[in-house]
Amino acid sequence: MTRGVGVDVVDLERFAGVIDRRPSFVTRVFTAAEQQYCELAKAPVKRVERYAARFAAKEAVMKSLGVGLGAFGFHDVEVERDEEGAPSVVLHGKAAALAAERGASVFHLSLTHSELVAVAFVVAE
C-alpha cells in the first residue's frame, strides 16, 4: 500500500554555486559513500549532477513521509546503487524510525537530470 509520494527538483547552476561557496555543505549533507560515488565523475558538471540528484532524493523522501527539513538529518537518507546501477534509498536513524512509525518499509526511487535540473521521485510503501 502506498504511504506517500515525494518529488523534488534541483536547479543545477544554483546547486553548483552552493557547493562552490560552502565547501562544508558536501560533508554536512552527503554520506562518505555518496561523496565517493559523486567524486568519481570525471567532468565537474557530472559531479554536480550526481550530488544534485542525491540531494533531490533526500528531499523527496522527506516529502514522501509528509515532513520537511529538520525532521531528520540528511545523512539519515542515503542513496545507493545496485550492481546494475539502479538507485535505491537506505534509511538510518530518525528517518528509519519515522518511516517505521508511518508504516513505510519500501521506497522506490527514480533519478534523472538534464543540463538544467536534477529530479528525484520517491514512492513510499
CATH of the domain at 65: 3.90.470.20
Give residue 116's domain range. 4-124
Q: Say what the pLDDT of residue 42 is.
A: 87
- DSSP string spanning 11-35? EHHHHHHHHHH-THHHHHHS-HHHH
Any idea how long the chain is?
A: 125
The 10s digit of each residue's pLDDT in 17-74 is: 999 999 899 999 999 999 999 999 989 889 999 999 999 999 999 999 999 889 999 9
Split into its structural domains, the chain has a count of 1
Average confidence score pLDDT of the chain: 96
44/122: higher pLDDT: 122
H-state helical runs in 65-105: 93-101
Q: Please state, in angstroms and rounded to a whole number, the distance separating the CA atoms of residues 87 and 81.
A: 4
Q: pTM for this structure? A: 0.96
